[in-house]
């Protein structure tokens, strides 16, 4: 099942979620190389990217010639959202995604993210500004509602569709749940029934089994995977194979796993610079080690070493002949 959005086709309909500090350009490229249908940038603060704040620009960086890429914008003012959308489109974004689901207090206290679900009239001004600013498709990511007393995702989705949004992704929790409890995939069905545009289910989808249950419960057209891809950049491709008949990915083991990890590590050093890149890469190296038997002392060395040649030597010791648990 492919999802057409203007001149873009999301095939397979398995998407990488925007994850702060994780879905940077090196990681998006790696996930896409295994066969994701769409990869989404980290959330970018609209005013910061327009005002050329370096880290915001880095989060929005797509590289030229990238396919199936989206930039997610957050903000509370229509002017800055529109200007940021224009910038991202100019950088090569194929899709602009609007964040109305982030539950973090530093975001909602600024009346952005999921706080916008408490004022749908204002939320619509942002959507209309972005849709009017760009020629690429605009999508929306949100939650079921602010809390159990304000489950207004169906209404927001319906109004967003009327404003020109091409697809909506629903995380199956309210804002007040943050990431606690379990995602309510069945509640997403009300959104699917409220609109004609594609609906993507998100939340607690980590593998083919959970993806299948989410699709059945929600009636959604596809799924979005976040934390399930950490340390498993092939996870989306495995879901796509199991649920949508896409080509099965080759899971790297042994030397191939080592080579993939080194390539990812070196791409982060190139993208961020050696010092910052080395720090940013540690979380990924830790996730890669989670399913491999690595001596605790060696693990600590890898995650604390600051010398690039030292890290590469230690990675060879940890992964050179490692067998990984396929998941």
Torsion of CA 119, 121, 127, 133, to 10 degrees: -130
Closest CA to 79 of 117, 124, 132, 129: 129
Q: C-alpha distances in angstroms, 195 versus 10, 135, 146, 207, 215?
A: 19, 22, 20, 27, 17
* 3-class secondary structure, 138: strand
CA pair distance 237, 40, nearest whole angstrom: 15
Task: Spot the catalytic one: 102, 176, 307, 310.
Answer: 102
> Is 307 known to be catalytic?
no
Read off the DSSP letter of residue 100: E
How is residue 235 written in tokens?
Answer: 């996870």
How is residue 100 written in tokens?
Answer: 């109305």
Active site positions, annotated: 102
């Amino acid at each position: 099942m492919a999802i057409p959005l203007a001149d873009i086709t999301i095939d397979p309909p398995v998407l990488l979620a925007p994850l702060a500090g994780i879905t940077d350009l090196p990681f998006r490229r790696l996930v896409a190389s295994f066969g994701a249908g769409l990869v989404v940038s980290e959330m970018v603060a609209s005013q910061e990217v327009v005002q050329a704040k370096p880290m915001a620009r880095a989060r929005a960086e797509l590289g030229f010639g990238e396919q199936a890429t989206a930039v997610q914008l957050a903000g509370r003012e229509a002017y800055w959202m529109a200007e940021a959308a224009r910038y991202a489109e100019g950088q090569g974004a194929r899709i602009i995604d609007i964040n109305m689901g982030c539950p973090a207090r530093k975001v909602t206290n600024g009346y952005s993210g999921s706080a916008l679900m408490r004022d749908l009239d204002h939320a619509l001004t942002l959507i209309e500004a972005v849709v009017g600013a760009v020629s690429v498709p605009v999508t929306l990511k949100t939650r079921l509602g602010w809390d159990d007393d304000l489950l207004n995702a169906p209404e927001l989705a319906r109004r967003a569709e009327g404003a020109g949004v091409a697809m909506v992704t629903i995380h199956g929790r309210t804002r007040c749940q943050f990431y606690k409890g379990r995602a309510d995939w069945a509640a997403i069905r009300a959104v699917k029934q409220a609109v004609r545009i594609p609906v993507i289910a998100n939340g607690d989808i980590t593998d083919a089994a959970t993806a299948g249950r989410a699709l059945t419960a929600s009636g959604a057209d596809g799924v979005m995977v976040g934390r399930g891809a950490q340390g498993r950049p092939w996870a989306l491709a495995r879901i796509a194979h199991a649920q949508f008949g896409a080509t099965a990915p080759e899971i790297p083991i042994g030397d191939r796993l080592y080579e993939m990890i080194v390539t990812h590590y070196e791409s982060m050093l190139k993208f961020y610079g050696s010092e910052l890149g080395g720090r940013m890469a540690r979380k990924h190296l830790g996730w890669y080690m989670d399913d491999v038997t690595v001596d605790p002392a060696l693990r600590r060395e890898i995650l604390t070493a600051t010398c690039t040649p030292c890290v590469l030597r230690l990675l060879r010791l940890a992964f050179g002949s490692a067998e990984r648990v396929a998941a």
